[in-house]
Amino acid sequence: MEIQRDGAGELSSASGQLWPEAKKILAQRLLPGTLSPQIYSAWIEPLAVRKTGPDSVSIVSPNEFFHRYVIGHFRQAIETALREGAVREGGDSLEVSFTFSQFRAAPIPKEIMSDQFLVRPFSAPGQAQAPRRGPNDLLARHALSLNRCFTFSNFVVGSPNRLALSSTRAFSEDTNLGTGILYLLSENGLGKSHLSQALAHHVMGKTPQRRVLYVTAEHFLNLMTMCINRKIMDEFKRYFREQCDILMVEDVTFLSGKERLQDELRMTLDTLLDRGKKIIFTSTQPPKQIPGIDKSLRSRMNSGLIASIGAPDFDTRLKILDRKASGEGLRLDRKVLELIADRVTSDVRLLEASVASIKVAVMDSGRPADVPMAEECVKALPTGTDRASSLTLEKIRSYVCQAFNMEESVLAGKSRLRRHSDVRCLCIYLSRRLTGKTLVEIGNFYGRRHSSALYTCNKMDAEYRNDPKVTRQVDYYIGELTRQRAS
């Protein structure tokens, strides 16, 4: 969920000759084997281009369903084609974003739901494709995507995570470890998702024919519920038990107390393990400490290789900060890095948020980062011993509403407009990350139940981990709010 501000600019079927040129590149070179005339007509032709700036355009889908499908299957190809087209027209660079029209809806052709319209996501030359081989396109279309930045080469290794990295690498290389289950264990923000997705990228890059399915436990439940409602549970079982070589299940603490979900997952695990397939779990708790888990499922989890990731030590924190700053094009003095590493001790996301905060301060002041600036930016960040925050729910709501030009009263109301819902989700997630308030308190503040607030935080957390644009957006707001708290 990347939150879109209302933008100016007229919709058009072309932006000069750029879009027609990009469509030629798509059809003739980037996707020649994928873009049949039917698929081209169904998915590419209805797209419109909106010029949003001198060097930026937005690809506009006719509705949200269409938008999500295009993002999942054609995003990288479209971005590549547009940028190549811009260069051919004499441009230097082009920023491409994706959104959907709130004002018009195109009917979804019935034929696109059939197997002949099953489309594998685009991969640039040399990159692995994520398999989409369900019995039909329905489950594949709802599959979660991997974060392309989560690779082994991008993982910062140190003594607290070295064993977990070695275990994950060995698991990805089919080393005989005596078990088909890997259980990655750590507190939030220490790299479980990074390692699990790095394993998937490595396997698909080495053996593209192997099928990797990546879900959170909650997403597994949502897919199961959808298939029960549509009376297609046989397809659900075939998808996860016969169309899968490696199953990755994130956040298995979500399974607590959900008997039907546990039964379905246990039977899926048995089938996969009997066929010599592999399973990766991630969790913030060891199997024996997760309440409300069936004994047989707990036993299967315990039988796996449990690899723990500890909080990063000082040297590892320095490496993480240095790499994050380099990735942001920010040059930070050694003393600045050491100051942050000394203050923020237990959460990689907070380390990255501190760099984002300093970047905002550098852009705002126009001067290089120094120790006083770093002091100002990180002095209010939660530390390893004090996770509470002086930021209040009111301050977070006020800041976000100002950023999106929205009345604060809307967020506690019953409006289900997409824009209102997205901003409300962002506020709830930031409140959970930056305050010491419970989910009950946060939910009550926004007129929502505890279960709704929990669902929002889980959903946003998954998108924060898996969507680089959402990651940058959330990090920016955390940085801004942190600076406000420090001032």
Torsion sign over Cα 388, 393, 398, 401 = positive
The CA-atom distances, in angstroms, between 17 and each of 53, 85, 174, 409 are 16, 9, 49, 44
Q: Which two tokens stand for residue 484?
A: 């406000």
pLDDT number for residue 183? 94
Cβ-based neighbour number of residue 352 at 10 Å = 23
pLDDT number for residue 381? 61
Cβ-based neighbour number of residue 361 at 10 Å = 20
Give the span between the Cα atoms of 314 and 318, in whole angstroms.
Answer: 6
pLDDT number for residue 12? 36
Q: Which two tokens stand for residue 421?
A: 């819902």
Asked if residues 236 and 139 have their Cβ atoms less than 8 Å apart, the reply is yes
Asked if residues 119 and 96 have their Cβ atoms less than 8 Å apart, the reply is no
pLDDT number for residue 483? 66
> What domains does the chain contain, in order, with CATH numbers?
18-121 (3.30.300.180), 152-308 (3.40.50.300), 314-378 (1.10.8.60), 393-486 (1.10.1750.10)
Instruction: Please list, residue by residue across 9-40, b when 16 or more beta carbons sit within 10 angstroms of its beta carbon and e when fewer do.
Output: eeeeeebeebbebbbebbbeebbeebbeeebe
pLDDT number for residue 91? 57
Q: Report pLDDT digits (tens) over 62-97.
A: 776 677 778 877 887 888 888 777 766 655 567 888
pLDDT number for residue 225? 86
Instruction: Please list, residue by residue across 259-295, b when 16 or more beta carbons sit within 10 angstroms of its beta carbon and e when fewer do.
Output: eebbebbbebbeebbeeebbbbbbbeeebeebeebee
The CA-atom distances, in angstroms, between 229 and each of 113, 137, 202, 222, 284 are 17, 17, 35, 11, 31
pLDDT number for residue 195? 93
The stretches in the chain having pLDDT less than 70 are 1-16, 29-39, 41-42, 64-65, 87-93, 101-145, 379-390, 436, 483-487
Q: For residue 49, which of 73, 82, 84, 25 has the smallest C-alpha distance?
A: 82
- The CA dihedral of 58, 62, 68, 69, to the nearest 10 degrees, is -110
pTM: 0.54
Q: Could you tell me where the beta strands, DSSP code E, fall in 328-409?
A: none
What angle (nearest 5°) sits at the alpha carbon of residue 420, between those of residues 417 and 425?
A: 120
Q: Could you tell me where the beta strands, DSSP code E, fall in 284-346?
A: 305-308
